[in-house]
Structure 1
Amino acid sequence: MAVPKKRTSISKKKIRKTFWKKKGYRTALKAFSLARSIFTGNSKSFFCNKNKNK
Structure 2
Amino acid sequence: MAQPKKKTSNAKRDQRRATWKRKARVQAEKALALGKSILSGNNTGFYYPQLEAEEEEQAEE
How do 1:7-46 and structure 2 match up within 5 A?
A: 7-46=7-46
Greater Cα radius of gyration, structure 1 or 2? 2
Give the count of matched residue pairs: 54
Q: Give the whole-Å Cα distance in 2 for the aligned partners of 1:19 and 1:2.
A: 32
Q: Give the whole-Å Cα distance in 2 for the aligned partners of 1:35 and 1:2.
A: 53
- Listed one character per residue, the Cα deviations across residues 4-53 of structure 1 (whole Å, up to 9, x for unaligned) are 21001111110000000010000010000000000000001012233468
- Tell me the percent identity: 40
TM-score (norm 2): 0.74
Runs of 5+ consecutive residues of structure 2 not aligned to the other structure: 56-61
Runs of 5+ consecutive residues of structure 1 not aligned to the other structure: none
More off after superposition, 44-53 vs 7-16: 44-53
Q: Give the whole-Å Cα distance in 2 for the aligned partners of 1:3 and 1:43.
A: 56
- Give the letter aligned to residue 39 of structure 1: L
